[in-house]
Amino acid sequence: MLSLHRFFLPVFCCLLAVAAFCPDVHGATAQQIANALDNPVGVTFSASSSWVYKAGNVADIIPKGVPSFNNNYMVCASPGKANPQKLNFFTVTIQGAGTLSFRYQVSLDDYNWAELCAYENDYEWGWLWGASGYWNNYVDQGEDWWEEGEIPLGAENYTRTISFAVVGPTSEGYEKPELDPEWGEKLYNKAWLDHFVWHPDEDARLLVFNPDPEELNSFNEKLTVYLDSNYDNLTFHYTTDGSAPNANSPVYDPDAGITITRNTTISAIVYEGDARVDTTVYSASYMRKTAPPQLNITQNELQNSALLEFSSDTPGAVFYYTLNNNVPERLENGQPGENTFTGSRVTLTKTTTVQVLAWADGLADSNVVSETFEKLPTPESSFVVNGTPSAHPVFDKNDQATLTLTAAQGARIRYRINGGDIQVYENPLDIDQTSEIRFQAQQEGKLHSDTVTCKFYQADTLFPLDPPEAPGWHLFFLPGEISEKNSKELIKQWHPIAYDSQKKNYYRPDLLRGGGSYWIFTPEGGTRAEAIKNIYIYPLTGITIPAKTWILSGIPEDASIPQDIQAQTWDGETFQPVSPPPTDTAAWLYSPVEIK
């Protein structure tokens, strides 16, 4: 039966620290040990005067014929109890972290602290692994005779020298072990080793740059780069001027790092003590970024659009931007990627998320700057005439008319009346004359709303009505806009009928509009004299005649009469063509071209 344990005998350990051993003619060379332990990659061996190289099956044991790996192995006899401080050992040197695995077997006096062990530098404080135990003759013949051992090695040091030793039984308090023949126990006082394999830790790195240039190789104004290693005892010599580093180059200070402010390639070599670890020159390149874009927006009063301009502290910067909430892309050939535009300005007319980067020759792309410009909703208006809301922008000379404006919460309204000064809206506006009002909502940090233009007409010209008295159908021409109040009164008294030139049908209007002509019917024995005698109108200076369409309208008195207009008037019974077209008279009009 085998047992694994660690031994701590103060007197014995002190003796080990100064132990020496006597030459043994049966010792093995370093090459023999390497061959016997199957030449593991990454491991070098020292010679030994006490470990013996053997070929073939394991000899001088029961059971016989136990095979060795590759037909060779190492064996070592335990020092006697009279000389327990003697260490029969050889060393292995390994670079890097990983796990050393091997096959072993022991037949040692564990009752008196004999042991096959591995330690680094010092047995007492550097013990890594150990095994001991009596030999059992009844173990199965073959590969199962060998035990599997492994020693994990961390990254405390890059180069590790490990001693494999056989420690003899202690003489102090020695008692002869009692073996149990029934269980086949036999004490050979030997240890066997075979088939070393080194499994390096692929994640343990000699030198890494932080930040990793594969993931982040650009910076803004400055960057501090750190050189890291998985191994605690390594140092680095480095350069930042493009030259190859050597032993005289600056030694990296892990507390300070390496701070750079321009395009820089850091080159470094690795040392363990005074010796260079390998021939590799490790390097990482970092580029300074173009200064990030600055976004400047200009919004003029009562304009529907805003001008957004890009600038950068880096001279000659080129800008790449998107307007669809995607990140802009600059291709390797300098062309913009999909949905990416170039330029230093863009006009904004609606809520837009702008993402923009800057790039200058010899530098990396800047950080992407993203900003959403929210456009304010159009303000609402309410037109009130004599205390009653009106959707018709016409009021009489003596009416009291006001305009109320409303914007989104937090916004203010700026307006202008008849091209005058721009003012801040605070209270409802009194409208006492024909006026054009332009207004928009504004708020800090947002795009101005679209500008709204409203026109309001004061009906201030007295127009005498001539109600048709003769029975039958009559055409009436309205040469100007009238207030909603007067329109409703006339509709109530006359029950007019209008003609829709687009739909080509007749209908009863809800509102009489200036420039329109209307059919009015006077019954037999009836009269229209009860209608109002005079109304105020806002005279029209012209009308619109669509091309190649008959319309029921008229031409205001002061309007110029276009050529090629055909006109027909109603004489109470039939339509009669007239030329030139009459003014201030209802008529059917036709023009070969559109007239406005």
Taking residue 202's Cβ as centre, other Cβ atoms within 10 Å add up to 9
User: Under 8 Å CB-to-CB from 404, ≥6 apart: which residues?
Assistant: 381, 382, 384, 428, 429
392 secondary structure, DSSP code? S
pLDDT at 529: 67
3-state percent breakdown (helix, strand, coil) of the chain, nearest 5: 5, 45, 50
Residue 266's identity, in one-letter code, is: I
Beta bridge partners of 382: 404
The answer to whether 156 touches 121, Cβ cutoff 8 Å, is: no
In 447-526, which ranges are E strands? 452-459, 461-464, 472-477, 480-481, 498-500, 505-507, 517-522
- Report the candidate in 8, 39, 153 with the shortest Cα–Cα distance to residue 95: 153
pLDDT at 501: 85
What global pTM score does this model have? 0.68
pLDDT at 302: 96
Cα-based distances in Å from 282 to 168, 205, 207, 287: 48, 12, 8, 17
pLDDT at 394: 97
The answer to whether 176 touches 169, Cβ cutoff 8 Å, is: no
Helix, strand, or coil (residue 110): helix
Residue 153's identity, in one-letter code, is: L
CA-CA distance, 246 to 215, in Å (whole number)? 27
pLDDT at 1: 35
User: Under 8 Å CB-to-CB from 39, ≥6 apart: which residues?
Assistant: none
- Report the candidate in 406, 389, 394, 463 with the shortest Cα–Cα distance to residue 433: 394
pLDDT at 18: 32
pLDDT at 84: 66
Pairing label, strands 480-481, 423-424 = unpaired
CA-CA distance, 76 to 351, in Å (whole number)? 85
Helix, strand, or coil (residue 376): coil
Helix, strand, or coil (residue 570): strand
CA-CA distance, 477 to 540, in Å (whole number)? 12
Q: How far is CA 290 from the centre of its chain?
A: 19
Block means of pLDDT (10 residues each) for the chain, 596 residues, are 36 34 64 97 95 94 88 94 77 97 94 93 91 74 83 96 93 86 85 97 96 95 97 97 96 97 97 96 97 96 97 97 96 96 97 98 96 97 96 95 97 97 97 97 96 96 84 90 94 92 92 92 77 85 85 83 85 87 87 84
pLDDT at 14: 33
Instruction: Return the biggest CA–CA distance within the chain.
Output: 156
